[in-house]
Amino acid sequence: MKNRKLITALAGLGVVALAMTGCAAGGGDAGGGDAGGGEASGDKPYIAIVSKGFQHQFWQAVKQGAEEAAEEFDVEITFEGPDTEADVDQQIQMLQTALDKGPDAIGFAALDSQAAGPLLQQAKDSNIPVIAFDSGVDSDIPVTTASTDNKAAAAEAAKQMAELIGHAGKVALVVHDQTSVTGVDRRDGFVEYMEENEPDIEIVDTQYGGGDQAKSADLAKAIIAANPDLKGLYGSNEGSAIGVVQAVKELDLAGKLTVVGFDSGKAQIDAINEGLMAGAITQNPVGIGYETVKAAVAAINGDKVEKTIDTGFFWYDKSNIDSEEIKAVIYE
Amino acid sequence: MSMDEREPLLTIVGASKSFPGVKALQDVGLDVRHGEVLALVGENGAGKSTLMKLLSGIYTPDAGEFFLGGERLEITSPRQAQELGISIIHQEFNLAGDLTVAQNIFIGREPRRAGIFLSDRELNARAQQLFDRLGLALDPRQRVGELTVARQQMVEIAKALSFNAKVLIMDEPTAALNDLEVATLFDLIRRFTTPDTGVIYISHRMDELKVISDRITVLRDGRYIDTLDTDSTDMREVISLMVGREITGEARPQVTDAGTDVVLSVSGLSTKGVLSDVSFELCRGEILGFAGLMGAGRTEVARAIVGADPKSAGTIELAGKPVRIDSPAVAAKLGIGYLSEDRKAYGVLLERDVKENIVLSSLPEFTAALGFMKPAAIEAKASELVTALSIKTPSTSQLVKNLSGGNQQKVVIAKWLVKDCDVLIFDEPTRGIDVGAKDEIYALLNALAAQGKAIIMISSELPEVLRMSHRIAVMCEGRLTAILDNADATQENIMDYATRFSAEGTVMA
Amino acid sequence: MTTTPTASDTASTETGRPGGLVGRLRGQLQQLLAFASLIIIVAFFAFASPHFFTTSNITSILVAATVTGILALGTTFVIITGGIDLSIGTGMILCGVMAGVFLTFWGWPLWAGVLGAILFGGLIGFVNGFNVAILKIPPFIATLATMLIAAGLALVISGTKPIYFKETPDFQAIMNLSIIPGMRFPLGVAIFILMMIIAAVLLSRTIFGRYTYSIGSNEAATALSGVNVNKWKIIIYTVSGLFVGVAGVLAASRLSSAQPTGGLGLELEAIAAVVIGGTSLSGGKGSIVGTVIGALIMAVLTNGLRIMSIPQEWQSVAVGTVILIAVYLDMLRRRGR
C-alpha cells in the first residue's frame, strides 16, 4: 500500500515534470486525475488526519493510536503533518489536499486556527465533520476536540515543582513557543498555579526556544547565569525539557537545580533515570490518536459526540517510570 | 567654422577639487564658445574626468565658479545639471538593456495619463520626433540590449539632447566604434553644434580631434596648460603639451626580420555562428596584427584558440604538434597567454594587489607542500617584473585598481611573462591607455618579439597595427579576408579587406 | 591579504596615491572597528548585568557559538567566491544523522564514524560544487535544492527518530569533555578555535585561499589566467562541506543524539555572521577574523539579551537591527576612501 502510494506520487511528479518541459503537450489525459476521488468512493469510510507534526516521536505515537482505532473500527485513514511546527503554510496545503480527496471526516490539529479558517468552513459546507485534536482548533466548526487539558497538566507540573523545591525560591520556564495553544496553555497553567498557590515561589523568566534542543540549552544557560540562585526550571515540551537538561549537564548543576519536563522521549527518560530531571508530565498521545478516530467514526455514523474529549495526562518520575500504566503512554 | 563674438557659452573659473592625498584639479579655467567643439585632452589622471564630474554635478568643487551664457550656475546633482542644459555622455552607458529605446530616453519622465498610467504610444511618438529632429535612424520600440554599441551610444546622445542640452560633454565617445560609426557620430555632433550650443569632446585619439574639434584645451597633472586652435596646430605639439615632453612620431615599424620558425598553426578554425574557416600561421619573433571592424570576429579567434569559447571545427598545432585546448587552463599550461581587450572584466583582479595579479597564472610554481604559498618567492618575482616593466606602483602590495590603465596593462603582461608563454595574444593592448604609456607598451611588445615570443596583436587602430605588425591579418564577418605583409599594407587596403562583406550574405554555414 | 609593510611602502605616502600604506592601515582599522564593536557590545552587557561577564557565561557563549561559528567559517570561503551555500544548516543535521548511522547502526569504531560523518559533509559540498561549477546552476538554487534534499534525507535515513549513540558513549565527549580542570571549558570550543586557525591559514597562506579570492574578485579573469576555476570551485565547496561535517558531529555530540530535524535557519545565522564580519556577498572580499568576530557578535547579543530577560520578540528585532547597522557601517567604511 505504502509503496503503491509512493509510486503514484512519483508518477505524478513525473507528469508534472513532463508538463513543465513541454513534452506532455497534446498528450492524453494525465493519469493522476482520478486517484483522489477513488479513495473517497471506496467501501470503507475514509478519514484524513492532518497533524501538527510528523517525524517527531509524539506524533508517531498519535499516529499509532489512530491506526489502532482505524483497525478496530474498520476505517481507512491517512496521517500527515508538516516538517516543523512553524510550517503553517505547509499544513494548510495538506489540509487543502485532504479536503480535495473528499474524505468522510477530517482529523485536524491546527498550527494556526485563523489560517485554517476558510478551509474549515469549506469542510463544514461540504458536510465533512471535523474532529480537532491535540492543541485543537480555535473555532466552533469542529464537532469535538480530543486533547490533553494542557493547562491542567501544566498546573500539575507546577504543583510537583513546588513540592520538590520546598514551596519557596526562584523558578523559570523554557517554553517551546508563545503563539500555539499548547505553548500558551502549558505556560499559563504553570504560571497561574504558582501565582495562586505558591506565594513564596517567584517566576523570574520565561523564554522560548522553539522546541529546539540546542537553542533551548543555550537559553536555559543564560537564564541560569542571570539567576545564580535559581531553584527550578520547567521545560514545556520534549525539546525544551531536554535542552534544559543539557544546560544542567553542561553547567554541572545536577542535583542543585530541579528540572521538570513535559512529554517523553528517550533523552527525557534517561535524564529521569540518571536523576538529572525530577520528573515530567506526559500526555497520552496514543489515546489522542485513538480518540480522534473514534470520534470521527461516531460523527460519520451520526452519533452524538461530546464537545471535548479529555485524553488525559500523567506525572511520571523515577518511582513509577517502569510501571505498566506509564510505559504504555511514554515513548522512546 | 566661424566663431561667434558673443561671450563664451560656458566658462569655468578657478575650479579646484581634492581627494584625500590627491589634488585632482588645481585652479583650472576654460571656456567653450558658442557653436564650437572644444576638445579636452590630457593623459589619464590629468583631471579631465574630475572636471567633467564637477560640471555634471557628480562632485561638488572645493573652489571655482561656472557660468552658462553669463549666468552663474550652482550645480548640485546630475539631474539638475541636465535641467540646466549640461548633459554628459559617459564612456559607460547608463541604459537598461531590457527596456526599449524610447523607454530609456524618457526614463523618469514618462508621459502619464491620469497620473499613474503610462502611455507607450505617446512615448514612442515623442522619441520618433526627437529622432527626426536629430536625423537618427532608430526604432523607438526596439530593446536597447539588441542594439550595437554604436547605436546604444546614439540612444545615449538622443537621451542627452532630449533635455535640450546647451552643452554636451562626451567622454571618449569613439572608444568602441569603428570608422564608419565614428563618421556617423561626427555627423551627429556637427548637426548638434548650432550657434546656441557647444560640445566638450574628450578623447585620446589625436587624428579624430583634428577632424572634429575647433580648439583643444590641454590639462596636465590637474592643471590647465594651454588652449590651441586646431587648424593651426600640429598634433605633435598637443601631445608634447600633454606629456610634457617631445614624442617621437609616427614611425613605420622598425621591422626586424621575423623568424620563419612556425610556433602556432591554426587551420579551419570555426565556432558556432561566428567564425568560419580561419587559418593562419604564427612564427617565432613575429607580431601578427589582426585588423577588422568591430564584430569581425578578431576577439573570438583569440578566445577560440585559448579555449574560452568552444570550437566547432578546426585544428591547432603548437610547434608542429596538434593540441586540444578546451579551456584557458590548458592553453596556459601549453604556453599560450591571452590578454583581453577588456582589462577590467577579463584581465586583472582590481581588488587584489599587484603581486597577486602577477603570479596568478603561475601560482603553483610558488607553492610548497600542502598548498602553502611562498610569500618571499612571490614578492621577489613580482618586484623583479615591476622593475623590468617599470610598472609605476608604490609597492607590490598596491591594489591594482589604484594603478593607471597603462600600468594595469603592464601587470597583465607581467602575469604572462612569469608564466613564460611562447605565444602571447594581445587584444587591444593600448585601449584606454594614455599616449606616453602607449609608447612604453609598444616598446615592450617589440622587445618581447625580439626575445622570440610569437605575438598576436588585435587592434582597432590602424596606425597602431601598421606601426607594430610584421604581417597583418584582416577579418570580416568571421572570415579571414587577407594576410598582408607590412610593406604591402596601407590603411586603405586594410579597410578594403575589412569591408569585404560576403556578397551572398551567407556567412554562417 | 596579510602583508607586512616593506621599505617600499613608505614611498607610497610620498606619491600620494590612495591605497598605499594609508590604505593598508585603514584596512586593518576596519577589522579593529569590527573588533571594537564586539568589545563595546560585551562591555555594554557586562555593565548591564553582573552575571554576564563570568567565566561560566563566557564559556556558555562560546559553546552556543561553536556550531554556527564553524558553519560560518566554512561558508566564508564560498561567500568570498561570490557564491552562497544555503545547505549548510540542514546539511549539518544530515551529517549528524550519518554519524549515528555509522556508529550506532553499522557499529563502526568511534574514529571511523566521526571521520565518515565529516567526509560525508565533504560529499554534500562536492555535490554543491559540481552543480554550481559544472552544471552552472546558480549557487542560490543549487544549494537551496541540497538544503531540501538534506533535510528530507535526514528524516528518511533516521526513520524520523533521533539516533542515540548507544554503542559509542564516548561520542558525547567530542563536544562536552572538559579539558581544563576546574573550568567547564569543553573540547568542542577548543575544536572551534582549531577550526578558526585552520580556516585562517587556508585562506591567507595557501593557494586554495588565493584562488578563493581570485575567483570572487574576477572569475572570468581568473579563468583566462589559466586557473581551472571549475576544479577550484568544487574544491572550495567541498572544503566548506567538511566544515559542515565537523559542525554536524559537534552538534550531535552535544546532545548525545543525532536529531533528524532542525538546522533550518542556521544557514542564515551563519551567513549573517559572515556578513557582519565584513565579507561581501558579491565576493572577493572577506576574512576569517571577521567571520569569527561576526559569529561572536551574534552569540554575545543573543546571550546578553537573554541574560537581561529581554522578551524573545525583541531579541530578534535587536539582532536584525544589529545586522543592518553592522553591514551599513562596513559599507560606509569601504566607500569612504
pLDDT, tens only, C88-127: 999 999 999 999 999 999 999 999 999 999 999 999 999 9
Model-level pTM? 0.73
Asked if C29 has any chain B CB less than 8 Å from its own CB, the reply is: no
pLDDT above 60: residue B407:
yes
**Residue C154 to residue C97: CA distance in whole angstroms:** 6
Q: Do C227 and B363 touch (CB under 8 A)?
A: yes
DSSP state string for A67-100: HHHHHHHT-EEEEE--SSTT-HHHHHHHHHHHHH
Is position A325 within any domain? no
Q: Show the CA angle centred on residue C194, arms to residues C188 and C196, nearest 5°.
A: 110
Give chain C's residues under pLDDT 70.
1-31, 333-337
Contact C306 A55 (CB under 8 A): no
What is the per-residue pLDDT for B256?
Answer: 55
pLDDT digits (tens, 9 = 90+) for B281-314: 999 989 999 998 767 889 999 999 999 999 999 9
Q: Where are the domains of chain C?
A: 19-336
Tell me how close the Cα of C266 comes to any Cα of chain B, in angstroms: 30
Q: What pLDDT, on the 0 to 100 scale, is given for residue A297?
A: 92
Whether residue C51 lies within 8 A of chain A, CB to CB, comes out as: yes
Q: What percent of chain B has pLDDT over 70?
A: 91
The domain total for chain A is 2
**Pair (A133, A213) in one structural domain:** no
Whole-number Å distance between alpha carbons of A308 and A133: 9
Kindly state the average pLDDT of the residues B191-219.
86
Same domain, A133 and A179: no
Residues of B within 8 A of C333 (CB-CB) are: none
pLDDT above 60 for B255: no
pLDDT at residue C27 in the model: 56
Same domain, B52 and B118: yes
Average pLDDT (B357-363) is: 93
Residues present in chain C in total: 337
The range of the structural domain enclosing residue B300 comes to 255-508
Closest approach of C171 to chain B, Cα-based (Å): 30
Best mutation site among A2, A79, A187, A213 for testing chain C: the one with the most C CBs within 10 Å? A213
Extract the C-alpha cell encoding C95. 551529517
H or E element that contains A309: strand A308-310
Say how far apart CA A249 and CA A255 lie, in whole Å. 10
CB pairs under 8 A between B and C: 123
Instruction: Read off the pLDDT of residues A290-331 as tens digits, 9 standing for 90 and up.
Output: 999 999 999 998 888 888 888 889 999 999 998 887 887 787
Q: Are residues A164 and A232 in the same domain?
A: yes
Tens digit of each residue's pLDDT (9 = 90 or more) over B109-138 = 777 776 677 778 888 888 998 888 877 888
CATH code, A162: 3.40.50.2300
Last residue of a domain, one of B174, B208, B243: B243
* Interface with chain C: mutation pick from B397, B421, B424, highest number of C CBs within 10 Å: B397
Beta carbons of A222 and C162 less than 8 Å apart: no
- Please give the pLDDT value at position A303: 87
Domain co-membership, B156 together with B45: yes
Please report residues of C whose CB lies closer than 8 A to that of A217.
Answer: 254-255
Q: Do C17 and B394 touch (CB under 8 A)?
A: yes
CA distance A129 to chain C (A): 30
Residue B1 has pLDDT above 70, yes or no: no
- Look at C60 and A249 and tell me if their CB atoms are within 8 Å: no
Nearest one of B437, B431, B479 to B177, comparing CA atoms: B431
What sign does the CA torsion over C98, C100, C105, C111 have?
positive
Confidence of residue A27 (pLDDT cuts 50, 70, 90): very low
Strand, coil or helix: what is B364? helix
User: A173 and A240: one domain?
Assistant: yes
In sequence order, the β-bridge partners of residue B63 are B16
Compute the distance between CA of residue B220 and CA of residue B292 in angstroms, rounded to an integer. 33
Is A89 found in the same domain as A211?
Answer: no
**Whether residue A214 is found in the same domain as residue A128:** no
**Chain A interface residues facing chain C, Cβ-Cβ under 8 Å?**
54-57, 60, 83-84, 178, 204-205, 207-208, 212-214, 217-219, 221-223, 225-228, 242, 246, 249-252, 265-267
- Spatial strand order of the sheet with B479-485 comes to B336-339, B423-427, B454-458, B287-292, B471-476, B479-485
Percent of chain B with pLDDT over 90: 29
Whether residues A119 and A12 share a domain: the answer is yes
**Is the residue at B407 inside a domain?**
yes
- Please check whether residue B249 lies inside any domain of the structure: no
C262 touches chain A (CB under 8 A): yes
pLDDT reading at B97 higher than 90:
no
For CA atoms A16, A17, A22, A28, give the dihedral sign.
negative
Is C19 within 8 Å of chain B by CB? yes
Give the C-alpha distances (Å, rounded to integers) separating A95 from A81, A92, A101, A102: 9, 5, 10, 11
d(CA B135, CA A263): 82
For chain A, which chains pass the contact test of at least 3 CB pairs under 8 Å?
C
pLDDT band, very low/low/confident/very high, at B496 (cuts 50, 70, 90) = confident
pLDDT at C147: 96
Helix, coil or strand: residue B88 = strand
Q: Please, which residues have CB within 8 angstroms of residue A113's CB and are 6 or more apart in sequence? A: A137, A138, A139
Tell me, what amino acid is at A135?
S
Select the residue of A221, A250, A265 nearest C176 (Cβ to Cβ): A250
Residue A13: predicted pLDDT: 56
What digits encode the pLDDT tens for the residues A139-184?
Answer: 888 889 888 888 999 999 999 999 999 999 999 999 998 887 788 9
- Examine residue B250 and state whether it is found in any structural domain, yes or no: no
Chain A interface disruption, residue of C51, C104, C172, C268, most A CBs within 10 A: C51
Residue A35 has pLDDT above 80, yes or no: no
pLDDT at position A32 is 37
Do A260 and A144 lie in a common domain?
Answer: no
Pair A129, A210 in one domain = no
Summary mean pLDDT of chain B: 84
Instruction: Give C225's contacts (C-beta < 8 A, 6+ positions apart).
Output: B328, B332, B360, B361, B415, C214
Band (pLDDT 50/70/90 cuts) for residue A6 is low
pLDDT value, residue B146:
84
Range of the domain at A72: 4-148+284-312
d(CA C254, CA B71): 76
DSSP state at residue A166: T
Please answer yes or no on whether C306 and A83 come within 8 Å at the CB atom. no
Quick one: CATH architecture of C19-336?
A: Orthogonal Bundle (1.10)
pLDDT-derived band at B257, boundaries 50, 70, 90: low
* C129 touches C143 (CB < 8 A): no
Whether residues B322 and B444 share a domain: the answer is yes
Shortest alpha-carbon distance between residue C336 and chain B (Å): 10
| Residue in this structure with the C-alpha cell 596583436, named with its chain if needed | B457
Structural domain contains residue A332: no
Mean pLDDT score of chain A: 84
Residue A90 lies in a domain: yes
B163 touches chain C (CB under 8 A): no
Contact B360 C22 (CB under 8 A): no
Residue contact C255–A213, C-beta within 8 A: yes
Contact B87, B163 (CB under 8 A): yes
Same-domain status, A11 and A97: yes
pLDDT of residue C308: 84
pLDDT at residue number B80: 85
Contacts of C19 in chain B (CB under 8 A): 398-399, 401-402
Looking at the complex, does the CB of residue C295 fall below 8 Å from at least one CB of chain A? Answer: no
C-alpha triplet B182, B185, B190: angle, nearest 5° = 125
How far is the alpha carbon of A68 from chain C, nearest alpha carbon, in Å? 20
CA distance C263 to chain A (A): 9
Is the CB of residue C271 less than 8 Å from the CB of residue C113?
Answer: no
Same domain, A198 and A300: no
Q: Does A179 fall in a domain?
A: yes
Q: Of B196-210, B356-370, B372-386, C80-94, give the lowest mean pLDDT range.
A: B196-210
Q: Are C52 and C304 in contact (CB under 8 A)?
A: yes
In a domain, residue A234? The reply is: yes
Residues 4-33 on B with a CB inside 8 Å of C are 19-22
B243 to each of B29, B218, B234, B434, B436, how far by Cα in Å?
19, 10, 15, 9, 6
* CATH number (domain holding residue B448): 3.40.50.300
CB contact under 8 A, C207 and B329: no
Chain C residues touching B22 at Cβ < 8 A: 16-18
Contact: B348, C223; criterion CB under 8 Å? no
Choose among B338, B371, B401: nearest Cβ to C224: B338
Half-sphere exposure of B376 (CA within 13 A, CB side): 1
C53 touches chain A (CB under 8 A): no
In a domain, A163, yes or no: yes
- Taking only residues 53 to 72 of chain C, the set having a beta carbon closer than 8 angstroms to any beta carbon of chain B reads none
Radius of gyration of chain A (CA): 22
**Residue pLDDT, tens place only, A177-221:** 888 778 899 999 999 999 999 999 999 999 998 888 999 999 999
Gap from A79 CA to chain C (nearest CA, Å)? 15
C265: number of CA atoms within 13 Å, CB side?
9
Q: Phi, psi (5° rounding) for residue B89?
A: -105, 110
B202/B320 same-domain check: no
The answer to whether B3 and B51 are in contact (CB under 8 A) is no
Q: Tell me, yes or no, whether B264 and B342 share the same domain.
A: yes
CB C16 within 8 A of CB B21: yes
Determine whether the interchain pair C18/B22 forms a contact, defined as Cβ–Cβ distance below 8 Å: yes
pLDDT (mean) for B30-34 = 91
Name all chains with 3 or more CB-CB pairs below 8 Å to chain B. Answer: C
**For residues A147 and A291, what is the distance between their CA atoms, to the nearest angstrom?**
9
pLDDT at B145 over 80: yes
Minimum-distance CB partner of C20 among B306, B327, B395: B395
pLDDT of residue C86: 96
Asked if A222's CB is within 8 angstroms of C164's CB, the reply is no
Q: For chain C, which chains pass the contact test of at least 3 CB pairs under 8 Å? A: A, B
Find, among C81, C111, C84, C116, the residue nearest to C98 by Cα: C116
Question: Nine-digit cell at C312?
Answer: 524573545
Judging contact as 3 or more Cβ pairs under 8 Å, the answer for A and B is no
Confidence of residue A100 (pLDDT cuts 50, 70, 90): confident
pLDDT digits (tens, 9 = 90+) for B18-31: 876 567 888 999 99
Is residue A16 located within the same domain as residue A139?
Answer: yes
